[in-house]
Chains A and B, each alone.
Chain A
Amino acid sequence: MKYYGVAIRNLNRQKKRSFLLGGAIAFGILVVTLINSFSGSIITNVGENFSQLMAGHIFLTGHEKTSTGKTINVIREDKKIIDALRQNDLPIRYFHKRSAFSGYLIFEGESITQQITGVDWSREKFLKERLVIIKGSLEEMSDPRGIIVNQKVAEKLNIEIGETLLVQLKTVTDQYNVGEFRLVAVSYDPGIFASISAYANLSYVNELLNLKEGEYQTLGIFLSDIRLIDYTAEKIYKTLIQREVPLFPRTSSEEGEYFQSLSRDIRAQTWEDTKFRLFTLNDFLYQVRQMVNILNTIALVVLLILFLIIMIGITNTFRMVIYERTREIGTMRALGLQRKGVRNLFLMEALFLSLGGVLLGLLLSGLLMFILSRINFGMDTPMFIFLRQGHLTFAMDPVRLILNISIIAVLTLLAAFFPARKAAKMEPAQALGKYY
């Protein structure tokens, strides 16, 4: 216990030096914590942003083969699926049916490519809450041919509320079709996702796609907790298999090539009636996970490089400290302090120095994160997908934090160990006789 006090007193004696060394450690931990915390929030933010854009966490799509081998995307009969979703004890908040197509919106000679999603407005409460309407009204979607486009699209087409625009598309079987929409509302431009932010009535979108009443293309399932995606998907998949719903195999999202290989299978295979595909948000997020892993690896490499440099500084500083305190060491040794005691005293100093630096670094990184999270980067930025409502968010994994602190503590102790051992080996008489 007595070493602690002496170690802290010694650090206090050379405030400037301790502050500089501690500052270097603080800088290292600051950089690493920022990277780790940013990457920690990426998965959550990207997941939430995607779940909002795609309207769900788990998705089911139906696929049929035509007589000529063409694959069409349609769900005609979903009773078994809906029963399975309702009867199980699953963390499902709600689910909804959607159809969508990519087509050209045309108005007075101007044309723009846009994905138009057909939704059942009576069930899409979440979408209603999320859409920021600038002009017009969502209530007007009672018009079967009503459409909501974003600000940018409305400006490009130079169209006003109430005006009629054409849409050119292809049906599920690739036939050309042309429809008419009436613009009822203009929504806030969601930046890089502007091309997939037009919404219309499910019934009219189905009509344009040449689907019959009650048919649709995607069943989106929202869960109460985004972390339960894999667990719930697995459970739904097993239940559907038990109920003899024909399903494509569900390979792990970790394999990464899932979508490509499945598309190849769908093209190559033949089957009767409708075969379903179950996929989750995590299947899309595989590449994001890879990016997060790369970021965390970069953070670790940065930490190690920074601390190699800091270690050299610590070693040199402690060698200097030992020269300065040679007579003091001699006195302590003459008064009965054992070699182990001298070594531990210096190691204790190094440990406190690193812990002080870590604490300062964490405080500074916390402050910086707070300031950065207050900045509104807006929604019209390529970074949008990594942000939450246009703001940076940070989430530090406690295990990673403990790992970082441990690495710093071990490296600092290692850096101070050799000078400390040298100090411990000094003979009291010789040490007392040294003058610098």
Chain B
Amino acid sequence: MKAKFSLFHLIFFFAFLLSGYTEPNFKAILKEIDNMNNFKESDFSATYTIVSEKPGEQTSVMKIQMFRRDREDKFLMLILQPEVQKGQGYLRIEDNVWFYDPESRKFSHSSLKENIQDSEAKNSDFKVSSLSEDYDVTSWQEDKLGRYDVYVVELEAKHSEVSYPKLKLWIRKDMNQVLKVENYSLSGRLMRTALYPPSYIKLGNRYLPSKMLFIDELREGEKSQVTLTDASLSSLPDYVFTKSYLERVSR
């Protein structure tokens, strides 16, 4: 009995060692995920349609035109829908964010709200991704999500200046694409689940999820679906990231 026990320990020890050797290079995987979502080499433009559902409220639809130039830390976000907000826009140049209201024809110094117009989608969902820089992998396992083989990776923030201190990612083994993300609070409570169904838009050598579903885990029944269309990596003229352009397109 004693010998059996020791043998079990030996097997476990070797299995552990073996697993150590076969641990995927998550640093590289996270870097690849970051690269997939960052547009440092080229500009990026796309239209996002956000459909939000809240219990007891009518489904709301919002359409946003986004222009990004990550290498210069600039973006311009123009609201196309709903009608009452049409023409409103945000222009970000480095740390400065301006909000433009076509009604008053005025710019005001602003800060980006956490959530995009009361939806479950957050502004940070469309910003430069830095998972590999901001997080450490604390645990991982192999699993299946639907018909896909995935790594389930738990991440913990390296510092206290990232929005979510803990993340859990479901990463497709075959193409290092994130299928699901769980966002946890500092106290360890699940706050939000993001699902990225495997339907992609191919842009150069990247695959961008064409649909995203964000579920609020604190408020039952609140969710938002984001659809990406007209995505492009074509160069944008410099004037796109100016106040005068925002004024012009808002008319």
Residues of A within 8 A of B (CB): 66-68, 70, 106, 108-109, 111, 166, 168, 171, 173-179, 208, 210
Contact = CB atoms under 8 A, between A and B. Distances in A.
B15 to A, nearest CB: 37
Interface string B191-202: 100000000000
A173 B186 CA distance: 11
Nearest to A106: B218
Nearest to B188: A178
A68 B187 contact: no
B98 interface: no
B110 to A, nearest CB: 14
B183 interface: yes
Contact of B164 (A66, A111, A175): A175
Interface stretch (B155-163, B174-182, B235-243): B155-163
A210 B185 contact: no
Nearest to A267: B95
25 contacts: A66-B161, A68-B161, A70-B161, A106-B219, A109-B219, A109-B221, A166-B218, A168-B191, A174-B161, A174-B163, A175-B157, A175-B160, A175-B161, A175-B162, A175-B164, A175-B165, A175-B185, A176-B163, A176-B185, A176-B186, A178-B187, A178-B189, A178-B218, A208-B187, A210-B186
Nearest to A209: B186
Contacts of B159: 67
A253 B187 CA distance: 41
B118 to A, nearest CB: 11
Mostly, the A contact residues are: loop
Given A68-B161, A173-B160, A176-B191, 14 more contacts: A70-B161, A106-B218, A109-B219, A109-B221, A168-B185, A168-B218, A171-B160, A171-B186, A175-B165, A175-B185, A176-B163, A176-B164, A176-B183, A178-B187
B83 interface: no
Contact of A111 (B161, B185, B219): B219
Contacts of A177: 185-187
A208 B107 CA distance: 35
B219 A175 contact: no
B230 interface: no
| Most chain B beta-carbon contacts within 10 A, residue among A66, A70, A168 | A168
Given A66-B161, A171-B186, A178 B219 contact: no
B158 to A, nearest CB: 12
Given A68-B161, A109-B55, A175 B186 contact: yes
B72 interface: no
A178 B71 CA distance: 34
Nearest to B217: A178
Contacts of B221: 109
A171 B165 CA distance: 11
Contacts of B164: 175-176
B41 interface: no
B188 to A, nearest CB: 9
A360 to B, nearest CB: 50
Nearest to A109: B220
A67 B221 CA distance: 39
Q: Which 6 A-B pairs have the closest CB atoms?
A: A178-B185, A178-B189, A177-B186, A173-B160, A177-B185, A176-B185
A240 B70 CA distance: 45
Contacts of B218: 106, 166, 168, 178
Contacts of A175: 157, 160-165, 185-186
A67 B218 CA distance: 32
A125 to B, nearest CB: 31
Contacts of B186: 171, 175-177, 210
B241 to A, nearest CB: 22
A111 B222 CA distance: 11
Contacts of B187: 177-179, 208
Contacts of B55: 109
A179 B185 CA distance: 9
Interface in B192-228: 218-221
Contacts of A66: 161
A252 B40 CA distance: 46
A204 to B, nearest CB: 11
A108 B55 CA distance: 11
Nearest to A207: B187
A107 B189 CA distance: 15
Contacts of B220: 108-109
Contacts of B219: 106, 109, 111
A166 B187 CA distance: 12
A208 B159 CA distance: 17
A283 to B, nearest CB: 21
A210 B160 contact: yes
A60 B183 CA distance: 35
A258 B43 CA distance: 40
| Most chain A beta-carbon contacts within 10 A, residue among B55, B187, B220 | B187
Contacts of B185: 168, 175-178
Contacts of A70: 161
Contact of A173 (B161, B183, B189, B191): B161
